[in-house]
Amino acid sequence: MATIRKRENENFVSYEVQVRKKGHGVLTKTFRNRQDAEKWGRITEAEMDRGVFVNRSEAENTTLAETLDMYLKEVTPTKKGADREASRIQRWKTQPIAKRAMASIRGKDIASFRDSERKRGLAENTIRLDIALLSVVFETARKEWGMESLTNPCKAIKLPSGSKQRERRLLVDEEQYLIKGIKECCRNHFVIPIVKFALETAMRQSEILNLEWRHIDLKKSVALLEDTKNGERRRVPLSPKALEVLEALPRDINSGNVFKMTQDGLIRAFRRACVQGRGLYLTEIQKEPPAGFLEDLRFHDLRHESTSRFFETGKLDIMEIASITGHKTLQMLKRYTHLKAEDLAKKLA
C-alpha cells in the first residue's frame, strides 16, 4: 500500500506519496491534492504487480534544456555538422518549452512551435530540420538516458514539407557579372578562383574549402576528397580550366589548404558580389537586368549549374557524372540536373 504524508508550509499544502516494492526500490512523488496522490499510488502499484511499470521520474524531473545540454555535450561533437547543430540546440533552449519537464511536452506544444515559426516567415525546411533535431533528442533520451516512459511528441504532428527542389541555373551574362562584382567588392583574392573551380568541378562548398594541396595530383589531373557530405572518399577529375585555376594560385611551402577562406566569409562575399554585379549590369548596359538576374543565387547553385553543364556537353554518361559529383543514386543526381529546354530542342533538330 502506498504511504501518503501531508506536508504543510506557509503557502500551500502538498501530499508526498511513497511506493515501496521489491525490485523497484522507493518511488516518491508530490501532489497538490490527496486524490491525485492516492490515484498515482494505486496506478503505480498496479503496474508493478503486472510487471509493466516504467519509471517516469527521470523524464518528469529533467527539463528539455537539461536534455539538450546533455545531447550537445555527448552526441553533437560526434557529427560532421556539429557547429550547425549546436546553433539549432541553442535556439531551442530559448523556447519557452525548454524550461518544462521532458514528460510534460506534448504534440500540441511542437505544433505551436511549428505554427509560430511559420508566422515569423521561416522556411518550411528550416522548421522541419529544427523539429527533426528535437525528435532525435527525444529518441536518444528514451533509448539511452533512462527515460523509457517518454513518447516522442514530434511524431504526433504533421511535419513541414521540405524545401522545393531548386532548379536555379545561371542566366545569360550572370557568370560574367558575378565575376565583375567579385572584383569590385571582394578583397579576398580566393573568391574568384573558388567560383571558377566550383563551376568546373561541381564540388560542394565545404569540399572546396577543405581541399588541401597534398590531395591534388596536377600530373594526373585529379583531386582526392577525403571529407565529403556522404562520408565517402571521392576522386574528382580536373578539367583544363580547373587546372588553370589551381596553377595560378600561390602555394605554401608547408602545403595546407588550397583556398584560404572561411565558409562564412565566402557566403558574405558571394552575396555582396551578386548585388554589386547586378548594379554593374545596370550601369554598363543602361537598362534593367533580366528578371531574377543575380537575385536568389546561392553558392550551392554553382554545383547545380556545373552538373547540368556536364550533361549538356554530351561527352559523359550519367554514371560517369555520378562518379564526379558523388551522388549515390541516380534519383539524387536527377534533382541537380535540369537541362535547358532550348539546348535539348537544338539536339532534337
What distance in Å separates the CA atoms of residue 184 and residue 161, rounded to the nearest whole number? 39
What distance in Å separates the CA atoms of residue 224 and residue 207, rounded to the nearest whole number? 10
Residue 153: pLDDT band with limits 50, 70, 90: very high
Residue 287: pLDDT band with limits 50, 70, 90: confident
pLDDT in the model for residue 323: 81
What distance in Å separates the CA atoms of residue 220 and residue 237, rounded to the nearest whole number? 8
| Cell matching residue 83 | 557547429
Residue 24: pLDDT band with limits 50, 70, 90: low
H/E segment holding residue 20: strand 13-21
pLDDT in the model for residue 335: 62
pLDDT in the model for residue 83: 83
What distance in Å separates the CA atoms of residue 151 and residue 97, rounded to the nearest whole number? 16
pLDDT in the model for residue 299: 93
Mean pLDDT to the nearest integer, 59-67: 87
pTM over 0.75: no
Active site residues: 204, 229, 300, 303, 327, 336
What distance in Å separates the CA atoms of residue 312 and residue 344, rounded to the nearest whole number? 8
Q: How far out from the chain centre does Cα 158 lie?
A: 19
Mean pLDDT of the chain: 84
For 205-249, what is each residue's pLDDT tens digit?
989 998 999 999 999 999 998 877 766 788 899 999 999 999 999
Query: For 24-38, 89-103, 213-227, which range has the lowest pLDDT when averaged over its residues?
Result: 24-38
Residue 265: pLDDT band with limits 50, 70, 90: very high
What distance in Å separates the CA atoms of residue 324 and residue 315, rounded to the nearest whole number? 13
Q: Higher-confidence residue: 38 or 291?
A: 291
What distance in Å separates the CA atoms of residue 73 and residue 66, rounded to the nearest whole number? 11
Helix ranges (H only) for 26-173 are 34-50, 57-61, 64-74, 82-93, 107-119, 124-144
Q: Higher-confidence residue: 47 or 124?
A: 124
